[in-house]
Structures are given as structure tokens and as C-alpha cells.
Amino acid sequence: MSVSRTTEAGRARESRILRSGTPVELLAPAGGFEKLGIAVHYGADAVYLSDDRFSLRNFSRNFPVASLPRAIAFAHERGVKVYVACNLFPRDDELDRLAAYLEALGGMGPDGLIVADPGVVSMAAEIAPHIPIHLSTQANTVNSRAARFWERVGVRRINAARELSLREIRKIAGTTDLEIEAFVHGAMCIAYSGRCLLSSFMAGRESNRGECCQPCRFHYAVMEESRPGRFFPFAEDDHGSYVFNSRDLCMIDHLPEMIGAGIRSLKIEGRMKGIHYVATAVKIYREALDALAADPENYAVQPWWREELNKISQRAYCTGFYLDDPEAVRPNYAACKSDSPFIFAGKATADSKSGWVDAAIRNRLKPGDRIEISPRKGPVLTGVIEGIADANGNTLTVAQPGSHVRLKVGMACFEKDLIRRVDACANPNSAFCCKD
């Protein structure tokens, strides 16, 4: 990750924004009840979610429409806002069902409705006028005139197109009263504003209707027509070819610049990612934003924030288009394989100060394993598993994935804190190496 290039003028502007009490929102993905709980636990100000029909992540776990009121109530009881994604591009034969869905949402009390299609913007304004309309990045808003147009038709917030630089976002923010939301972390799509057609052609699954099979992550080779079955590699290593493989966005070093550009909601991508990803990303950006708000003049990125973000699955980080850096948007031709020894192992299912932690196990654990517990705030806690027992107190020699056990770890733990196993290093020269 690059070193922050915040200017003195930008720092002063950021300080004024934070001192004035202008809120800067951390917006997290919630692709199901478990991820919702994790996002709230680790400090999200707001979450975005959807049912399983009308968003661009239909293969995420999502929420059946009947469960949305419970999800919204859960978040609201904890002071967290909920934005419901309805950002597909519907066909005419879907409009009646969509209208019924919008009417149902109108009675559930979400804090925003994320849409992309102009027709859906119109429908939402007519059917549920009390729900603020947020414009999806899919609408690719890239200039101030487009922003003012959306403002005139009732949109309250825009998610700035990913192709914009902070310089361009700052100009848009200065010409409109719209709230500006932008991605701060997560996967980058290879297509303009996410409008990819590869999935439709290759698998019959339309990306812009929530069915993307992510062909940009496939491994490719060339085959000459008269030589069927004979593959010719290109830009290939031992793990395959990465023709469309973009790097992941990470702006942990540039939060002051983002906020100074007028961005008021920092969005983490990843409704289809696991809870380890959600927990780690939300926790670190929460820590950073809190530190920035507490003392903007002396704010500094902590090395352990970067270390934590490097422990989650990623394809090498970049700053996207934000800093006008051509290198940041070059494809990543390296293998998407991490030599990190940190394995997500489980989740605490109850508060514990006794040294015995009730846990739901996701990856195998045994006595003697080195572990990390990720608390809601502060650096990870490290220790060793001293013993494992079942619910009846019987000693176990191993905790298998899918089981619920008690772990003796000798440190306090709270419900929803995540647990990692620290394995021997695959690469002793890695920055992750856990050698003593």
C-alpha cells in the first residue's frame, strides 16, 4: 500500500469537516443474518442488504422478503441504518412484482433504497416516497450535471462511479446537495461501472440481473481452431492465466483525502464474501475513522491496520482510479494465492471472561494450536488453545468444522468475536511469517 499523500490544505479541510460534526458513515455489506450481526458487532454505521430477487447479488445468501422486517428491526435497535438494494434493471414483465415489492418495503421502514434504473427511481418515488432514494454505482454518475439531474428527480444520495478520481468527485460534491457515497474497500469489476456481459455470453447468467458467475476470475488459455484440445498459455504462471484479474481496492491510507473530497459514506464491497472478510474490513475502517475523528490533526495510519487487512482474501491491493495512478488499475497477473498462515477458525457464540470460550467452529482446531481472537476494538489477542470440551464438559482431542465446542484460551472473549488459527508459515520470508 502506498503512503498517504494528504496535503496540509486537505488535512485542514478534513479537520473542519470532522470538528463541525458532519457524520462520516461506514457502510458495510450484509448478505444474510450472520453477516448482518457481524457488521453491526464490529462497528458499521449502516448496512446494505436485499431480498433474493431484485438486486445484483442474487447468489448471495440475502434475505427472504418476509425476513426483511426482522433484519431492519435488528439493525435499528442497535442504532444502525439499513439500505435495501433494488438495483437490477427490470424488464416490463417484472414491473408489477417490483411495484408490490416496493409497496411492501414502504411499510418496513428502511433508511434508503438503492436503485440504478430510471424507471425504478420513478416507481420508488411514487410508491414509497418516504424512503430516501440512493443511486447505485451501476448508474455510472460521472459528472456534476448528471448529479444535479438525479437530485431534481428526488435522489438523495449517489454512489460515485468507480471510474472517478477524488479530484472529479470533489468537483461533483461542490455543485450539489446530494450525499456522496463511494467504495473504500473490496473487489473491483473489470467492466465500466460493473456492466459486464461476459457472464451472459459464457454461462447464460446476466451480470446486471444479479447472476454474475465472475468469469473475470476464471483461468484462461488460447486454443487454435485447427488444434482442438491443445492449449497455448499466455501471461501464465503455475496457477493459470489472469487476463481480466483486477486488483482489489484498499483506501485505508487515504481516508482523509476521500472525506476531504466530499465523500460522506465509505462503502465496503462484499455481500458475497464471508464473515471473516466482513469482520476484518469493518473493524479496521471503524478503528481508522474513530481515530481520525478523535484527532484529525495528528491522525496516522497504524501498521497493524494494514496487517489485518492483509490477512483476508484479496488479489493484491490498489487505490483504483481515485489518485490518477495508472499503475493502480493495471490487471494483477500474479497468482491469487496467499501465503498467509492465518486461517479463519470460528466465532465466539457467547461472552466469556473465564478463559473458556463457547465457539462455532469453521475450520479444524486442536489443543496446542496458536490462535488470534479479533476483539471489537483494538489489536488482536494472541494465545494457545489449552483444551477443548463439548457442551457436556467431555474432553475432545479436536474440534471439527460445523461443531459447537468450548475452547480453553486463557483470555476474555465476547459473542461474535472471530477466532483465527495461526499455522506454520508456508513461506518463511513472507511478511506474514509467524516464526518466533
Q: How confident is the model at residue 228 (pLDDT cuts 50, 70, 90)?
A: confident
CATH fold of 8-189+246-329: TIM Barrel (3.20.20)
pLDDT at 95 over 90: yes
How confident is the model at residue 431, as a pLDDT?
43
Joined together, the cell numbers standing for residue 39 give: 457488521
pLDDT at position 237: 53
Residue 101 φ/ψ, nearest 5 degrees:
-65, -45
Residue 416 contacts residue 431 (beta carbons within 8 Å)? no
Q: Give 313's pLDDT tier (boundaries 50, 70, 90).
A: confident
Instruction: Find out whether 138 and 195 touch, Cβ atoms under 8 Å.
Output: yes
Longest dimension (CA), the chain: 69
Q: For residues 274 and 24, is the Cβ–Cβ distance under 8 A? A: no
Neighbours of 417 (CB within 10 A): 25
Give the span between the Cα atoms of 315 and 334, in whole angstroms. 8
The confidence score (pLDDT) of residue 331 equals 61
Write the CA distances from 165 to 24, 32, 99, 140, 180, integer angstroms: 19, 32, 36, 13, 13
Angstrom distance (rounded) from CA 32 to CA 297: 38
- In this structure, how many other beta carbons lie within 10 angstroms of the beta carbon of residue 153? 12
> Which residue type occupies 408?
K
Pairing mode, strands 155-159 and 179-186: parallel
Q: Is the pLDDT of residue 57 over 60?
A: no
Q: Which CATH class is domain 342-422?
A: mainly beta
- Point out the least confidently predicted range of 53-67, 188-202, 363-377, 422-436: 422-436
Q: Which of 29-33, 220-224, 429-433 has the lowest mean pLDDT?
A: 429-433
> Amino acid identity of 132?
P
Asked whether the predicted pLDDT for residue 316 surpasses 90, the reply is no
pLDDT value of position 340: 74
pLDDT surpasses 60 at 116: yes
Q: Cα separation of 431 and 62, whole Å?
A: 36
Residue 419 pLDDT = 97
Name the pLDDT band for 118 (thresholds 50, 70, 90). very high
Residue 233 bridge partners (DSSP): none
Min mean pLDDT across 197-211, 252-266, 346-360, 363-377 is at 197-211
Residue 424: CB partners within 8 Å, gap ≥ 6?
A: 341, 434
Q: What average pLDDT does range 291-305 have in this prediction?
A: 94
- Locate the domains of the chain by residue range: 8-189+246-329, 211-244, 342-422
**Mean predicted confidence (pLDDT) in 72-94:** 95
Query: Closest Cα partner for 307 from 389, 261, 250?
Result: 250
**Nearest residue to 132 via CA among 265, 266, 290:** 265
Per-residue confidence (pLDDT) for residue 223, from 0 to 100: 74
Residue by residue, what is the 3-state secondary structure of the chain? CCCCCCCHHHHHHHHHHHHCCCCCEEEEECCCHHHHHHHHHCCCCEEEECCCCCCCCCCCCCCCHHHHHHHHHHHHHCCCEEEEECCCCCCHHHHHHHHHHHHHHHCCCCCEEEECCHHHHHHHHHHCCCCCEEECHHHCCCCHHHHHHHHHCCEEEEECCCCCCHHHHHHHHCCCCCEEEEEEEECCCCCHHHCCCHHHHHHCCCHHHCCCCCHHHCCCCEECCCCCCCEECCCEECCEECCCCCCEEECHHHHHHHHHCCCCEEEECCCCCCHHHHHHHHHHHHHHHHHHHHCHHHCCCCHHHHHHHCCCCCCCEECCCCCCCHHHHCCCCCCCCCCCCEEEEEEECCCECCCEEEEEECCCECCCCEEEEECCCCCCEEEECCEEECCCCCECCCECCCCEEEEECCCCECCCCEEEEECCCCCCCCCCCCCC
Question: Taking the CB of residue 209, how many other CB atoms lie within 10 A of it?
Answer: 19
Q: Do 8-189+246-329 and 342-422 agree at the fold level?
A: no
Of 58-62, 227-231, 342-346, 395-399, the least confident: 58-62
Residue 168 CB neighbours (<10 A):
19
| Residue 195 confidence (pLDDT) above 70 | no
d(CA 68, CA 207): 24
